[in-house]
Structure 1
Amino acid sequence: MSSANNSTHDQITTSQAAVMIINYMLGAGILTLPRTTVEAAKTPDVWISILISGLIILLAGMIVVALCRRFEGKTWFQFVPEITGKWLAFVLGLLFIGFFITIAAFEIRVMAEVTGLYLLEGTPVWAIVMTFMWIGLYLTTGGINSIARICEIILPITLVFFLIAILLSSNIFDIKNLRPVLGSGFMPVIKGLKPSLLSFTGYEIMFVAMAFMKTPKKGTKAMLVGITVPLMIYLITVIMVIGGLSINGVETRTWPTLDLMRSFEMQGLIFERFESLLLVIWIMQIFSTFAITHYAASLGWSQLLKTKIRPFLFILLPVIFLIAMIPKDVSETFKLGDVVGNASIYLFGALPLLLLLISIARKKGVKPK
């Protein structure tokens, strides 16, 4: 049994690990991804930026898996001290925990903003945030296996309704809105890389999840599936949203993906308007992201301090709540997301490669068979 696990019941399969990565990535970002990329690139070629970003993230994910496989059965918080030494590892662990806490706060705040705007108009943000946080607490107390199981339930529902809604929007899709391809050259594509890279935040959960896998040697497969599925969804979303709304329409909308759903109506179906249905489904998606990050941060504290995880699940709730309530409006909420996204580039882009090289040079860990 791996050292990261409390029991054999708290292990996850390869497919569950992949589903956790997918659910983590498909959080609040997809609701704003078309706007953020178009604002940066100013052209409809942002789908190329997303494709390139997906390949870059796939490479970064393989580095994460390679590093974790040298220390099978251990999470980031347990194996980094072997590479860097105790004190530097403690600092890196705190940064890692801070990142997860902030992601949890950001996701829950975005969920509250969108819910208050479209579903529960007039409901205070703090009330929505607290409700979902307590539900999330109930889930995380069941351990990582419970989180993985709920992700397995949420993901198929999300994919089915999302694809139905996107395909129905083809009635207003105009291919001319995506032309000309590379009409402004390749530089706008480069400018669109940063916001599209930030949308792939989530593969770093393997630093925690891989320690719980029954077959860690299949971590590469889990990472490949976990990144490829969001990449396909992001590509479909951006192409359909820009094709339906045009780059000018996308740039002026806060939640362009939801606005695409609001721009068409299908008479005679059970659901004639799809934005509310999509939003309900996506609330579940954001909820799973919150649960994953809340659990990862709590696990980090428990392993750094070598104590039980349960107290930290409760202790971190008010911390996450306070951070979630710091932004005064949607604009400041997005700024918080940008800060977290920029931090992820350094924490999970350059750092894993550096640690992998150091572990190889110092002959730390076990070389994967």
Structure 2
Amino acid sequence: MRRANMNPKEKDQITTSQAAVMLINYTLGAGVLTLPRTTVEAAQTPDVWISIIISGMIIMVAGIIIVLLCRRFQGRTFFQFAPDITGRWLAWILNLIIICFFLLISALQIRIMAEVTSFYLLEGTPMGGIIMTFMWIGLYLSLGGINCMARIYEIILPITVLFFLISILLSSKIFDINHLRPVLGSGIMPVIKGIEPALLSFSGYEIMLVATAYMKTPQKATKAVVIGTLIPLIIYLITIVMVIGGISIYGALTRTWPTLDLVRSFEVEGLLFERFESLLLVIWLMQIFSTFTITHYAASLGWSQLFKKNVKPFLFAMLPVIFLIAMVPKNVAETFKLGSAVGQVSIYLFGVVPLLLLLISIVRKKGGRTN
């Protein structure tokens, strides 16, 4: 008879496509609304679309490394198999850091969701009220388990992508290719400077530390990572090109939410919706909501597996913690600053640590061979 809490796959399973959709939804959070500004601030040239492509390839490799590590311990999440590699105490430290990371991402997403909602839709509404409303809705979804969440994401993703592409491509009427020229006019160094903020927007591949254990066919987890990285890469690339081509790098630098401002900068007469920013915003809030629920569940699952308890009490217990963290930044500028700091930590935490653990597990012959 299997030990309790050792195989989360017994009841809650997801398919390869659901794992890819979960990864896509995690990645496509608030980043798409701010990516043009953050990358242009670092590079100061319109060549940031090259930085996006390079970053996407780097993230894909990092995600594959995580999958190779997790497949050596099939049926167990990182929180469960880490002690086999590093020993109990070091694993506890690593697990606590990763749980705190998921909590911070969850709080940042819910705060950005509230900031955008307050600024564009519910002006004057208390920030705490908006945050609590979204959190309780997210809790209701998370209580259904990872399979329930994955099925909701499968509904949200195509709707989001469809309306996003319609809205962003309609801006072609104000698109000017000269805003993207000359290519590499300032050399390669600005492109390299733009890689770091681009990497932060691809944060999401780390969810495979948890999701791989729930997959019906973990042997196809690499496929999920490739698809789950390529689609955000394409969407980010379209966003960067259309925003810079529409409002130029100077416009992207001076706007808090340049992607939304691009959609607000034109009208299409004769259609049911002549202005698309409100529709896009409502749709994209669902995407940010997805990121919040994924990270909230991952953090709660981490606690539950550390203490070998049911996950549901921890889902409730994490709500006040997330709320308090979300209310710490005094304004949107501090929110972005905290998000940048957390993102920089994630580059090393999930870009370097999994590779080291994979090498250690191979040398120490821990876990099964990767199929």
> Does residue 259 of structure 1 match 2:225?
no
The equivalent of 1:132 in structure 2 is: 134
Instruction: Measure the CA separation in 1 of the matches of 2:46 and 2:73.
Output: 43
SS of 1:152's partner is helix
Alpha-carbon distance in 1 for matches of 2:121, 2:158:
23
Q: Does 1:199 align with 2:201?
A: yes
Under a length normalisation based on structure 1, what TM-score does the superposition of the two structures give? 0.99
Given the superposition, is the C-alpha separation of residues 22 and 292 from structure 1 closer, same or farther in structure 2, using an over 3 Å criterion? Answer: same
Alpha-carbon displacement from aligned partner over 1:263-288 (angstroms, at most 9, x marks no partner):
00001111111111110011000001
- Counterpart selection for 1:185 from 167, 171, 187: 187
- Number of corresponding residues: 368
Q: Does 1:110 align with 2:112?
A: yes
- How far 1:6 moved relative to its partner? 6.6
> In 1, Cα distance between the equivalents of 2:141 and 2:161?
22
Pairing of 1:289-328 with structure 2 (within 5 A):
289-328=291-330
1:107 and 1:38 map into 2 onto residues whose CA distance is: 22
Letter of the 1:225 counterpart = I
- The offset of 1:336, in angstroms, is 1.1
Instruction: Name the CA distance, whole Å, in 2 between partners of 1:6 and 1:41.
Output: 44
Q: Which amino acid aligns with 2:155?
A: I
Q: Distance in 2 between matches of 1:52 and 1:360?
A: 29
- Structure 2 match to 1:330: 332
Q: What is the TM-score of this pair, normalised by structure 2?
A: 0.98
Matched-pair contact (CA < 8 Å) for 2:9–2:215 = no
Name the CA distance, whole Å, in 1 between partners of 2:197 and 2:170.
27
Amino acid of the structure 2 residue aligned with 1:130: M
- What secondary structure sits across from 2:98 in the alignment? helix
**Structure 1 segment 34-49 matched on structure 2, within 5 A:** 34-49=36-51
1:5 deviates by 1.6
**Amino acid paired to 1:31:** L
- Please state whether the residue corresponding to 2:8 is helix, strand or coil: coil
| Secondary structure in 2 matching 1:331 | helix
> How far, CA to CA, are the matches of 2:289 and 2:7 in structure 1?
24
Contact 2:9 2:75 in 1 (8 A): no
- The residue identity in structure 2 corresponding to 1:108 is I
Amino acid at match of 1:5: P
Match of 1:3 among 1, 6, 9: 6
Q: Which residue number corresponds to residue 271 of structure 2?
A: 269
1:91 is paired with a residue whose SS is: helix
Residue identity opposite 1:173 in structure 2: F
Q: CA shift at 1:340, angstroms? A: 1.1
The SS at the match of 2:192 is helix
Give the superposition deviation at 1:3.
Answer: 3.4
Output the CA distance in 1 between the equivalents of 2:46 and 2:341. Answer: 25
Q: 1:17 aligns with which of 19, 28, 31?
A: 19
Deviations 1:155-210 (A, max 9, x none): 00001001101110000000000000000000000100100000000000000011
What letter corresponds to residue 236 of structure 2 in structure 1?
A: Y
- Give yes or no for the alignment of 1:221 onto 2:232: no
Aligned to 1:164: 166
1:54 — aligned with what?
56
> Which residue of the other structure, out of 236, 239, 243, is the alignment partner of 2:238?
236
For 2:346 and 2:104, locate their aligned partners in 1 and report how far apart those are by CA, in whole Å. Answer: 11
Match of 1:78 in 2: 80
Q: CA deviation at 1:4?
A: 3.4
User: Residue deviations 1:125-161, cap 9 Å, x none?
Assistant: 1000000000000000000011101100100000100
Report the 3-state secondary structure (helix = DSSP H, G, I; strand = E; otherwise coil) of the residue aligned with 1:269: coil
- Cα deviations across residues 93-113 of structure 1 (Å, max 9, x unaligned)? 000000000000000000000
